[in-house]
Every structure is written in structure tokens, then in C-alpha cells.
Structure 1
């Protein structure tokens, strides 16, 4: 499965993503992540800054789900796939690290990266667009700013 230009755009527009993992006992964990991007044509990458439970779960169970939305437009994507923990011994680490350091400016150190290979993707869309099909993104932005006090 390939990252489309639209998925890449929403990765870039989203401030946070939420990474869902599960332990080998199927105990779920959802963790917000600030430092993430896309890599290559089929991967979402996330810096592991303070994520011991996430890393532990992925080492036990590679199945993950990551969601990201533009909070004002209230659209985004849910991506399911297989995750790997990439450490400094991996040949791709430096390339991935370079992309993520652009986001952190070097202020948040990390020694591993979660790399998610996409297997399934589906759009996330606020119910207002479905209930009121004439809703424009511009109207949704105005509504969200009012709701969130922007």
C-alpha cells in the first residue's frame, strides 16, 4: 500500500498522531505522538521520545493503528499496519532520524524510531460532513475555531 499525496498532506498538517498498540496479552495502549512523518512510499515514522510501553508492545505485537487529523478541518486518516522498532544499528535509522530531527530541531533526543508499514488506510471525517453534506471545509474551520476558542 502506498502513501498518496493526500495522506502525506494530512501527515504534514497534523500536530499530533495517536498510536495504538497492544501487548501480547492484547492489552491496548494509545499514546499521542508529536514527532512523526512519512518515509518512502509506504511508511509512517514516529520518534520514540518517552514511549517505553509503546516500544515494549511493538516488540511483542507488531500490529498497530495510527490516526492523524487536521483539527480544524476535522479530516485525516487511520492507518493500520505492521510496526518495527528501528535503532541506531539499522541502516535506515540515519535517514529516518534526519527527517524527524527537522521537526524537533534536535530538542528532543530519541534513540529509536517506530516505522509503520501501511497495510490498510481509511479516511477519518467529522460526522458534520456526513450529517450536513453541504458543509464546506471553510465552514468547518470557522466552527472548530469557535468551539475550541481559537
Structure 2
């Protein structure tokens, strides 16, 4: 059964950073950025435990998780809800993700274990520009790309915002 379709895969690829939400022991939320979220197959997302002691402790106690991936330029993405399990070194999921991490970061990159998320539900995330403003994706994407370029250029030049 396919839960993760091609558009979802594309969003995760373009986003390059996702956010994982877990539940702390006291019931409070924990939100942690994850740069290693990848689609493993049609039903699973994976990310590497690189430096996530709170996220990992929370998942060992309560495996429920939500991962949000948003393409900031197109102003849309997905909420992936599911349950987590762990894959240690030697497991297929670990070896697959670790190979990718080493390819982009080089040798010696920390990789403790892989969190494998069985996705049970996916919900879209859409900017109100689509739902209330009647925006179309291509012009909205171009507009936000230009905003980011302008902001980066201003920051690099040290120009104050007006």
C-alpha cells in the first residue's frame, strides 16, 4: 500500500530540513529539526540520530511522532504522523541512510542509529495564499524565491531593513 506518493517524496527532497515532534515525559511538546529525513519506501520515513538525545528518549518511551516537511518556496508540504522504531548499525535502513549521509558529509559523520517511522497518516500543509488568496504554485514559488534572495542579499550587505 502506497502512503507516500511522488509529490510527498519531492517535497521532502526539496525541503532539505524537516521538523520532528515528539512528546516529553511531562506531556510537553518537543520539536527538533532534522536534516536527514528521507523517504525509505512507500510507507516509511527515516532519519539519523546524529545529536538528538531528547527526541530519542521521547520515542523510546512513546513512539508516536509527527514529521513536518515544507517546501518554503512553494509554501506547501506535508504532516506525516506515525510510530517510530529504531534500526542499529548493520540494519538495512541504517546502512542505506548512513551511506547517503557519508556521501554528502564525508567520513566521520556521527550516526548513532536510524529512526524508522511507519507513516500511518499524511495531511497536507498549504499556505493560506492558496486557500484564501487563490494563489497558483508557480507564481507563489517565484515570489518567495525572490523574497529569500532579497533577504540574503540585504543580510550579506549589512543593509538595514526598512
2:3 aligns to what SS in structure 1?
Answer: coil
Please list every run of 5 or more consecutive structure 1 residues that lacks an aligned counterpart in the other structure. none
Which structure: greater helix fraction? Answer: 2
Conserved? CA contact 1:36–1:100, under 8 Å: no
Taking the aligned partners of 1:29 and 1:98, their CA distance within structure 2 comes to 28
Please list every run of 5 or more consecutive structure 2 residues that lacks an aligned counterpart in the other structure. 153-162
TM-score by length of 2: 0.82
Higher relative contact order (Cα pairs below 8 Å, separated by 6+ residues): 1
Match of 1:54 in 2: 55
1:55 aligns to what SS in structure 2?
Answer: helix
Which protein is bigger by CA-based radius of gyration? 2
**Mapping 1:17-56, distance limit 5 Å:** 17-56=18-57
Match of 2:7 in 1: 6
Conserved? CA contact 1:81–1:120, under 8 Å: yes
Conserved? CA contact 1:37–1:100, under 8 Å: no
Distance 1:92 1:68, change over 3 A: closer
Superposed CA RMSD: 1.9
Deviation track 1:50-105 (CA, whole Å, cap 9, x = no partner) reads: 10000000000000000001110111110000011222254542233224434434
TM-score by length of 1: 0.88
Aligned length: 149
Match of 1:145 in 2: 145
Q: CA deviation at 1:25?
A: 3.4
